[in-house]
Amino acid sequence: MKKLASVCLLSMLFASACSPHKSTNNKPIELKPAEVAPFVDKPTRYAREVQAAIQRKLFIEDDYRGKTCDINIKMSKDGKVYDLQGNGYPPLCEAAIKAIKNADIPAPYDDETYQQFKQTVLSFQPV
């Protein structure tokens, strides 16, 4: 159940992260690290940090809009992603995989957080 919750949480975060912007040039999305209220649970806070790290490296092309890509990832306890498999619109999957590989993903806070995120699916759905 926890694994399903983390997959759903990450899917919602990445779907909302791929919102439209007016820029048509090929520049990374610039985001400031979100300030997180202390009452937010660890999995949610960690998911936001992972999302922000990947978004800083993700380039959204106009032709990705309305397309989807799910990336199955496996990560080590230090936050390093060691296995990536994409399923969906190939150009979007390539961009997402490149962003994940180049992102500075932080290590999970503790073993409980790691267990929820060590193998998960990241869904990319630019709108």
Q: Is 45 exposed, middle or buried (0-12, 13-18, 19+ CB in 10 A)?
A: middle
Give the pLDDT confidence of 7-16 residue by residue, as tens digits.
555 655 565 5
Domain 2-124 has CATH 3.30.1150.10: yes
| Tokens found for residue 54 | 């990947």
Of 104, 30, 34, 83, whose CA–CA distance to 60 is shortest? 30
Q: Is pTM beyond 0.85 here? A: no
Give the pLDDT confidence of 45-60 residue by residue, as tens digits.
999 999 999 999 998 9
> Within a 13 Å sphere around the CA of 11, how many CA atoms are in the beta-carbon half?
12
Task: For the chain, give every domain's residue range.
Answer: 2-124
